[in-house]
Chain A
Amino acid sequence: MGRKLLLEHINVPGINTFDVYRQNGGYRAVEKALKMTPDEVVEEVKKSGLRGRGGAGFPTGMKWSFLAKPEGVPRYLVCNADESEPGTFKDRFLMTHIPHALIEGMIVSSFALGAKTSYIYVRGEMMPQVRILERAIAEAKNAGYLGKNILGTGYDLELYVQPGGGAYICGEETALLESLEGKRGNPRIKPPFPAIAGLYGCPTVVNNVESIAATVPIINDGGDEYAKIGIGRSTGTKLISASGNLVRPGVYEIELGLPVEEFIYSDEYCGGIANGKRLKATVAGGSSVPVLPANLTLKLANGEPRLMSYEGLSEGGFITGTMMGSGGFIAFDEDQCMVRNTWNFARFYSHESCGQCSPCREGTGWMEKILRKIEFGEGRMSDIDLLVDVARKIEGNTICPLGDAAAWPVASAIRHFRDEFEWHVKEPVKCLETNYGLANYAVPIAKTEVTT
């Protein structure tokens, strides 16, 4: 059994209430942190090696240490709970079942950063979670852990929940800040980074839900203890959202460094591929990261087992590797159509592009149109290279990473499953006959099969 830091008490009845959470050791981190200096708290988080759990994997302690601290200017902590990356649902899970883990982390983190007002920006579709968090905040306030003069230490903190309006782009931190200011979610040009000029032009840190919740065990056990878990520069535990054709999809907390094969097939985790089918491909870190065929999912190009860690998943670069991303693990069984799935993702990015940068606005639209053409039997061979060309022209040419995120799934699907795209062009009639992409067409599955 891997160690559980965030989900240790997930099965305790009533853990979503303050009292039960408190009885299970909750809010000790607040008591401990408030006896330390803010700099000492930052130092513990730095020592822990915690890396941002939202997707970029940037070290959280380092991000905190960049925060500007000019005299007389308020500083803000904003929690990014705009979880919208396809394949990712860990934050919803955490906020639904253990909301106080986030509230406690917010108090610890706000104290470390010297923030007196903090916001949790929750995607608008999660209205039930907005209400859950508001109730948790009221409970914590009632118990003296929020509001004026917390636990008699003189530290004041107000915590508010802000619902978004339904826009994937607001998961990008500067778009999130624009949205929190009541505007359209158009990402800002950086620099200046939010650490210098963020919310209302003031120094701001934006952290993912899971990153903030992870500060609780870090303060409780110490940064050094946390850093002992995991592998190399991937320290601690990570919540993985498992979805797709698995026996037991759901949210799992893993120690970083777990072999991918164990995660997919072991009964402790996903329990294998559903309906006795074979694994065809995976998207390991949310829809934005490159898709990998089964063989490269389980093993590196040199035949060693692939591990679930920031370095393990990105081993091999984009040629034979992928990325940790947000930990949204999507498994595809042998019957799934890669063209249809790539079209689906392309439509998602086309829909969610904010429209600010031309390469993304136009490019995502064209990728969607070309992929739809291929999927519905009207594609030409030259369309496949055209897609690669469009993807290349989006990547790196936009203000925010949405452009890259749209380009990578398309480029990687063609890289690893080019024969499927070609089959769609060669067999337009069979294409049209297939419903929902569940075709038993003649793609040589043996190529992607791994005997274990």
Chain B
Amino acid sequence: MLKVEEQQPEVFPETLIEKFNEIISRYPEGKQKSALLPMLHEVQAVFGWLSVPSMDKVAGYLGIMPIEVYEVASFYTMYFLKPQGKYMLEVCRTGPCCLVGAEKVMAHIEQTLGVKEGEVTPDGLFSWRGVECLAACGFGPVLQIGPEYTFYENLNEEKVDQLIQDLRNK
């Protein structure tokens, strides 16, 4: 699972380092490991996924073993351990959303993008997957797109078409 899919530049931009320092300052002396989850979100927001070299670099900043980063990155579902499409459409597939048509929405996305769950479109723009409850059950079906995790609610096939069109034109 953690094989290196491709090397990416291991240079972290200055803004990312500044963000790291701000995050680490939130915790008591010696408890900087608490910064790990927020830092991984920041790295993923910059690079789109978490490569092994970038996780090693995070471990270096926190003074912890690389395995401590890998085990966290592989436990939590939000971290991508391989490259994704520029826009990752994450559709809620849990009970309440399914009652109001989430499965139809997912089938429509699969058909429209022409790729299966977890795959990337040939142009590198899109990937999609079903995720578990996003805590927006009253406004389902819903999907989110990182790294801002913008929310799209009360979806139907027309709205999905419009969304994909808008993202293509962006």
B-binding residues in A (CB < 8 A): 74, 83-89, 91-92, 117, 123-128, 158, 160, 162-168, 179-185, 200, 241-245, 249-251, 283, 287, 328, 330, 332, 336, 340-341, 344-345, 348, 351-352, 354, 436-437
Which residues of chain A are near B53, meaning CB under 8 Å?
none
A92 and B98 contact, Cβ closer than 8 Å, known pairs A164-B76, A182-B37: no
A200 touches B28 (CB 8 A): yes
For the complex, is B137 an interface residue (Cβ under 8 Å from A)? Answer: yes
Give the interface SS of chain B, mostly helix, strand, loop or mixed. Answer: mixed
Q: A243-B138, A328-B137 known; A125 and B94 CB under 8 Å?
A: no
Q: Which residues of A contact B136 (CB under 8 A)?
A: 89, 92
CB-defined contacts of A124 to chain B, threshold 8 Å: 37, 41, 76, 78
Q: B100 within 8 Å of A by Cβ? A: yes
A359 to B104, CA, bound (A): 33
Q: A243-B99, A436-B101 are in contact. List 15 more A-B contacts (CB 8 A).
A: A85-B133, A89-B135, A117-B28, A123-B135, A125-B78, A125-B134, A127-B147, A128-B148, A164-B76, A165-B75, A168-B133, A184-B71, A200-B28, A249-B137, A348-B95
Q: Smallest CB-CB separation from A341: which chain B residue?
A: B95
Contacts of B135 in A (CB 8 A): 83-85, 88-89, 91-92, 123, 125-126
Which residues of B are in contact with A by a Cβ distance under 8 Å? Answer: 26, 28, 31, 33-38, 40-41, 62, 64, 68, 71-72, 75-79, 93-96, 98-101, 103-104, 131-140, 144, 146-151
Point out the residues of chain B lying under 8 angstroms from A330, CB to CB. 95-96, 99, 137
A74's closest neighbor in chain B, by CB? B28
Instruction: Give the docked Cα–Cα distance between A88 and B137 (Å).
Output: 7
Contact of A184 among B35, B64, B72, B96 (CB under 8 A): B72
Q: Which residues of A contact B41 (CB under 8 A)?
A: 124, 127, 163, 165
Query: CB-nearest residue of chain B relative to A170?
Result: B76
Count chain A CB atoms within 10 A of each CB in B75, B134, B139 and give the residue with the most.
Answer: B75
Instruction: Kindly name the residue among A167, A244, A283 whose own CB sees the greatest number of chain B CB atoms within 10 A.
Output: A244
- A-B contacts, 17 of them at CB < 8 A, read A86-B137, A88-B137, A123-B135, A124-B37, A162-B26, A165-B37, A165-B41, A183-B68, A184-B71, A185-B76, A241-B138, A243-B137, A245-B99, A249-B138, A287-B95, A345-B94, A348-B132
Q: Tell me the bound Cα distance from A88 to B78 in angstroms.
A: 20
Bound complex: CA of A180 vs CA of B79, how far in Å? 16
In the assembled complex, how far is the CB of residue B94 from the closest CB belonging to chain A, in whole angstroms? 5
Contacts of A436 in B (CB 8 A): 98, 101, 103-104
- Shortest B108–chain A CB gap in Å is 12
Selected from B75, B98, B131, B144, the residue in CB contact (under 8 A) with A341 is: B98
Query: How far apart sit A444 and B13, CA to CA, in the bound complex (Å)?
Result: 64
Q: Beyond A167-B75, A182-B37, is A345–B95 a contact (Cβ under 8 Å)?
A: yes
Q: Is A183 within 8 A of B72, CB to CB?
A: yes
Contact between chains at A127 and B148 (CB < 8 Å):
yes
Give the docked Cα–Cα distance between A74 and B31 (Å). Answer: 13
CB distance from B25 to the nearest CB of A (A): 9
Min CB gap A297→B, angstroms: 16
Complex partner residue of B78 from A83, A166, A184, CB under 8 angstroms: A166
Instruction: Choose one: B68, B95, B149; the contact of A125 (CB below 8 Å).
Output: B149
- Do residues B28 and A182 form an inter-chain contact, with CB atoms below 8 A? no
The answer to whether residues A125 and B96 also contact, given A182-B34, A182-B36 and a CB cut-off of 8 A, is no
Lowest 8 A-B CB distances belong to which pairs?
A165-B76, A243-B137, A166-B78, A182-B36, A182-B33, A249-B138, A127-B149, A166-B77
